[in-house]
Amino acid sequence: MDKTNLASVEPHVAAHYAHGDLEGEILKALAASGKDISQLVPVDLAPVDEFHTAGRLATIDLAAQLHFAPGMHLLDIGCGIGGASRFFAQERGCRVTGIDLTDDYVRAAAAFSRRFGLDGQLAYRQASALALPFEAGAFDGAYMLHVGMNIADKPRLFTEARRVLKPGAEFALFDVMRTDWSELRYPVPWAATSATSFVASPADYRKVLEAAGFEVLGERGRREFARNFFREMAAKNASNGGPPPLGIHILMKTEGQQKIANYVANLDAGLIAPVEMICRAR
């Protein structure tokens, strides 16, 4: 596969995440966990709707470093099923537009946001991060959580992000990055094989972000945070006799436990780390 060719990579990435009736499956899992699905609130979805390392905990930590304020219009690049967008709408009073390559995720994001009456603040559309369907300077801020690992063309990714932001706007990212170049174990949660995995180093990110017109204000590696999170999750699963009905294994469809185990092994071996970067559009 030509890794630089969007037409050959993006359909494979979308197929990796595609998932028939995601809303129905999540509602079933909520019911199996004892929730009354007629009385759901957004936080009930937290175990499943934030498909990045440590889920909502990580979003809260990232948000604490940002100045996203009520009424701001944010862009969520690769929004998945919309957990982080609902967090910024509810907790920060922002409007959020989410884009994602995977149509099934966009539909689930919109369905859940409607169900919670947040559709006045939230909008979603299927689109590529490499061709954002928005005017220059349309957004007051943006964030991207665990998406860059699927995108080879980071210069184009960050040039697009910069184009749609106002000068001075914050752009936060939280991606899995390379800290060593030995072979990774696959499958991992974002890719079945190396053909759709483009994990870059923090130094590469910084270089490309700066060249695209961002100032990188802060960087924080979160490997130990991630390892603790997975250790606690494993201990909880062991004492409960297996994973709970509601979790990101639903989004991963097949080999969920293997993907997580390989991710943790890659973390433990020091090959990768989830890293936050806080940037400002120049």
Ligand X SMILES: C[S@@+](CC[C@H](N)C(=O)[O-])C[C@H]1O[C@@H](n2cnc3c(N)ncnc32)[C@H](O)[C@@H]1O
Contact segment (CB under 6 A) with ligand X among 39-47, 95-103, 233-241, 258-266 equals 95-103
Instruction: Write the single-letter amino acid at 133.
Output: P
148 binds ligand X (CB under 6 A): no
Using alpha carbons, list the distances in angstroms from residue 185 to 38, 43, 96, 188, 243: 41, 33, 35, 7, 22
Residue 153 structure tokens: 């063309």
d(CA 238, CA 126): 38
d(CA 8, CA 4): 8
Comparison of 168 and 264: residue with beta carbon closer to ligand X: 264
171 binds ligand X (CB under 6 A): no
88 binds ligand X (CB under 6 A): no
187 binds ligand X (CB under 6 A): no
Comparison of 157 and 241: residue with beta carbon closer to ligand X: 157
190 binds ligand X (CB under 6 A): yes
Comparison of 58 and 235: residue with beta carbon closer to ligand X: 58
| Touching ligand X, residues 97-136 (CB under 6 A) | 99-102, 105, 128-130
Contact segment (CB under 6 A) with ligand X among 26-34, 38-46, 48-56, 204-212 equals 48-56
The single residue among 27, 94, 145, 184 that binds ligand X, judged by CB under 6 A, is 145
CB contact at 8 A, 245 and 184: no
245 binds ligand X (CB under 6 A): no
CB contact at 8 A, 61 and 86: no
Q: Show the CA angle centred on residue 71, arms to residues 67 and 74, nearest 5°.
A: 65
d(CA 161, CA 159): 5
252 binds ligand X (CB under 6 A): no
CB of 241 to ligand X, least distance (A): 27
Residues in the interface with ligand X (CB under 6 A) total: 25
260 binds ligand X (CB under 6 A): no
CB contact at 8 A, 219 and 276: yes
- Residue 59 has a CB neighbour count (10 Å cut-off) of 22
Binding residues for ligand X (CB under 6 A): 10, 13, 17, 50-52, 78-80, 83-84, 99-102, 105, 128-130, 145-147, 150-151, 190
